[in-house]
Amino acid sequence: MSFSQHLRQLAKPSWDAQLSHPFVVALGNGTLPEQKFKYYILQDARFLGDLSRVFAAGAMKAPDSESALRLAKLAEDTIVVERSLHENYGKRWKLTANQMSSVPMAPTNYAYTRHMLSVAQNGSAAEILVVALPCAWIYCVVGQYLLRKGPPPKNHPYRDWLMLYASPEFAEVQRWMRKKVDQWAKTAGTDEKRRMEESFIISSRYEWMFWDMAWKEEEWPV
C-alpha cells in the first residue's frame, strides 16, 4: 500500500462521511438552497487565498526544481480560481471583489486555514503537500461520485461547480500531489511521517466540517 493510500485509510471515517453529508447530497441533486451555496462560495474564496500561500510555501521548501515549479504553478492556479469565483459569482450576486474578499472567515474556515498555514510555516515540503492533499483529493472524489451516473442536465443550478471538480484536469492535480507524497515519504523519518499522518487526518476532518459549516451557515457565536 502506498503512503497516500495509508493516509486515506487512517482518515476513512471522515472520508466516508463526506459523500452522505446533506450539503453534498443537495449540491449533487440541485436542491441546495442558493443562500447556502452563496455562503459556501464566499467562504471558499477566502479559503483559496490562504491555500495559495500554503502552495507557495511548499514551492520554497521543495527539494527539487521540478516540484518547486509545480507547486508555484498550483499557487498561481489557486489564485486564478479565486479570482474567477469573484468575477463569475460576483456578477451573479452583484458583489464586488472587495466585498467578497472582506467577508469575515467563519470559525471553521479560520481554524482550518490556520492549521494549514501553521504546517506551511513549520513543516517540510512533504508535510505541506500532505496538509493540502485532502482538499484536492476529497473534492475529486466528491465530484466524480456526484457525476457517477453522467453529467448533470444543462439546467442544473450547480453544473459548473460539478463539472470542474469531476474534470480530468482537476483529477490530475491530486494524482501529482499523491505521487510526490509517496515519493517523499520514502525518505521521511519516523517523526515526520507521524506529523504527516496527523495533519492528513485533521485536514480530512476539516473538509467534512467545511460542508457542515456551509450547511449551517456558521457564524461566530459572540
Running DSSP on this structure, what letter comes out for residue 170? H
The C-alpha atoms of residue 2 and residue 109 are separated, in whole angstroms, by 30
Q: Is the C-alpha dihedral spanning 123, 136, 200, 101 positive or negative?
A: positive
Query: Which residue type is seen at 157?
Result: P
User: How is residue 42 written as a grid cell?
Assistant: 464566499
Which residues are identified as catalytic?
135, 207
125-146 helix and 65-93 helix, angle to the nearest 10 degrees: 50
The C-alpha atoms of residue 194 and residue 79 are separated, in whole angstroms, by 30
